[in-house]
Amino acid sequence: MPTAPANQRRLPWIVAGDLNGFFGLVVDNLSILGFIAAALVGIFGFPAEVVFGRMFPGTALGVLVGNLVYTAMARRLALRSGRDDVTAMPLGLDAPTSIGMALLVLGPAYAGFTGQGMATDAAAMATWQLGMASLVVMGLLKLVLSFAGDWVTRVLPRAALLGSIGGAALALLGFLPLIETLRNPVVGIATLGLLLYVLVGKGRLPWRVPGVFAAFVVGAALYYGLGLAGLGLPGFQLPQLQPLAFVLPLPNTGFIAGLPYTVPYLPLLLPFGLLMVVGGINVAESARAAGDDYRTRDVLLAEAVSTLVAGFCGGVAQTTPYIGQPAYKHMGARHGYTLLAGLFIGLGGFLGYVSMLVQWLPVAVLAPIIVYVGLDITLQAFHESPRRHAPAVALAFLPAIAYLLVIKLGNPAWIPADTFAALYEAGDGHGLADLATIVTLGNGFIITAMLWGTALVALVDQRPLRAAAVLLLAALLTLVGVIHSVDPRGGIYLPWALEGVRATIAWQFAAAYVVLALLLGLLSLQRPPAQEARDAP
């Protein structure tokens, strides 16, 4: 008897592969929440009760809303297309900008408030309001720009779109979590190895136990078992848990009070929002390459709305569609995993158990799943682009490596701000300082990668004038700091407002693009090889 198409039969809400997807997506979000808490509480001495009791509930609400929307989108696509293998877009907290918010906005703002003599509680509340207002600002920007998403996907080649997120995947989702994995080698390598066994090697586990869940159980058991037995790493101790408390994140006017605080940070917040729009375009293309044709505008609108909801209700980290949709598809996940993960994170933020898990799950257990997602997306960037465009994909990886170094070197626990500024401006007579070059390349890395990839694709396709036009656009964006920002924090500016070394760096990078564009324009005046052959005697 023939099987009815998906749009004529009941579509299941949850399939077996959704369990692996659920654990993967939950861990992605828990990891980022863990990093936010570690940065604010551990580095800046921020009150833990404000992080867990006020910031996390609203942040979790944004994850819930976004995943519910993406679940509905996946079901609609499955019913409309008659396919039952449609995988929902995964949504969660964005790692780079969440880390940036903690290290470059919220933490320094709190330190500034307390340094001005503000009481600890008042400084914490003002910082929380700044975080809310920042999300509203970024959410409004994403909402406005979401309507340009479809046009961008028609203009930019796939190698540029996928290459830019491939580099981010390799550097930020691969390398950074790998370092956290190896900080506790026994736990981290065992967890990562099990994940690779079940997800890459397609190995089986007894009793059909979900592979991702099994890896977490084994990793946590090793961490606490070795630690309690005195065989773990020095400094092991059980976490001091915050008490469970029900907090319903309702809309409040705190973001209005925080809007004036955002003014000094706008040069940083606006690029954060812009990067998420570009990232959303890229992940929509990534899903399309994997076979699920979501409309880019809808993906971006859902992202913008969930960010705004989080900001209105107390959240401090913006949501974004994750670049791992093909990885979740390979796990066998469909749309049940986003439903389950959204409910788990959302309710956990309200009830407090997400905060408890963030404190109990060691980073060495959380990080390996992000490493796997990074590997999968890196491979997709090559597999789904034309073979002749592979050099453009590889070139697009390089700015992300610079941003990786910016994240590490910009940590005030590593390099004090005064020392960082001195190293940034120190030249050696042979060119720019190493730190200045790294920071300038890393700032705006996703857009830089897309422009570089687009220009090289044009050269591969024998279209030097198109490449020259892209380079001239890069020069213009350089002068205002959208790419290659000379503000160490990645801010935007007007070029005539720059002074000293920073003005020199900005004009040098812009001039470099103009010079190369002129060279390509001159080279394009040559007769095509075919015409030369016809004109030869």
Residue 74 is predicted with a pLDDT of 92
Q: What is the pLDDT of residue 535?
A: 55
pLDDT exceeds cutoff 60 at 1: no
* pLDDT computed for residue 189 by the predictor: 93
The answer to whether residues 73 and 302 touch, using CB atoms and an 8 Å cutoff, is yes
Residue type, 483: I
Half-sphere exposure of 70 (CA within 13 A, CB side): 41
Characterise 33 by phi-psi region: left (phi > 0), alpha (psi -120 to 50), beta (else). Answer: alpha
**Whole-number average pLDDT of the chain:** 84
Confidence of residue 238 (pLDDT cuts 50, 70, 90): confident
Q: Indicate left, alpha or beta for 240 from its phi (over 0: left) and psi (-120 to 50: alpha).
A: beta
- With beta carbons less than 8 A apart as the criterion, state whether 319 and 25 touch: no
Determine what percent of the chain is predicted with pLDDT higher than 90.
Answer: 27
pLDDT at 161: 75
Residue range 75-104: mean pLDDT, rounded: 84
Q: Which residue has the higher pLDDT, 525 or 533?
A: 525
| Cα–Cα distance measured from residue 320 to residue 369, given in angstroms and rounded to the nearest whole number | 18
* pTM exceeding the 0.85 threshold for the entire prediction: no
- 462-494 pLDDT, tens digit each: 999 999 999 999 999 999 988 898 887 677 788
Looking at 38-119, list the stretches that DSSP marks H as alpha helix, in order from N- to C-terminal side: 48-50, 56-81, 95-100, 107-115
Max distance between CA atoms of the chain, in angstroms, equals 88
pLDDT of residue 65: 94
- Average pLDDT over every residue of 499-503: 85
Phi and psi, residue 484, nearest 5°: 55, 40
Cα separation, 259 vs 265, whole angstroms: 10
Q: Is the pLDDT of residue 95 over 60?
A: yes
Q: Where does the pLDDT of residue 127 fall: very low under 50, low under 70, confident under 90, or very high at 90 and above?
A: very high
- Cβ atoms of 107 and 99 within 8 Å: the answer is no
Confidence of residue 268 (pLDDT cuts 50, 70, 90): low
Neighbours of 80 (CB within 10 A): 11
Question: Which contacts of 432-436 are long-range, i.e. CB under 8 A and separated by 24 or more positions?
Answer: 432/505, 432/508, 435/409, 436/486, 436/501, 436/505
pLDDT higher than threshold 80 for residue 112: yes
Binned at pLDDT 50, 70 and 90, residue 533 comes out as low
Q: Which of 8-22, 350-364, 411-425 has the lowest mean pLDDT?
A: 411-425
Check whether 531 has a pLDDT greater than 70.
Answer: no
Highest mean pLDDT among 17-26, 147-156, 230-239: 17-26
Q: What is the pLDDT of residue 482?
A: 86
Residue 2 has a pLDDT of 45
- Each residue's pLDDT tens digit, 151-169: 766 777 878 877 877 787 7
pLDDT, residue 404, reads 84
Across the range 237-257, mean pLDDT stands at 80
Measure the N-to-C terminal CA separation of the chain; round to a whole number of Å.
71
Sketch the domain layout of the chain as residue ranges: 10-236+243-261+288-385, 395-523
| Predicted local distance difference test score (pLDDT) of residue 296 | 84
Does residue 496 register a pLDDT over 70?
yes
Q: Which residue, among 262, 347, 358, has the nearest Cα to 41 in the 3D structure?
A: 358
| 412 pLDDT higher than 80 | no
**Which pLDDT belongs to residue 151?**
73
Residue 495 has pLDDT above 80, yes or no: yes
Contact yes or no for 59/346 (Cβ under 8 A): no
Say how far residue 358 (Cα) sits from the centre of its chain: 19
Q: How far apart are CA 187 and CA 209, in angstroms?
A: 20
Q: Indicate left, alpha or beta for 189 from its phi (over 0: left) and psi (-120 to 50: alpha).
A: alpha
Show the tokens assigned to 90: 């995964």
Please determine, for residue 536, whether its predicted confidence score (pLDDT) is greater than 60.
Answer: no
pLDDT at residue 3 tops 50? no
Q: What is the pLDDT of residues 222-232, one digit of tens each?
A: 999 998 888 87
Strand segments (E) across 305-423: 319-321
57, pLDDT greater than 80: yes
Task: Quote the tokens at residue 114.
Answer: 């307390």
Task: Give CA 188 to chain center in angstroms.
Answer: 22
Is the pLDDT assigned to residue 517 strictly greater than 50? yes
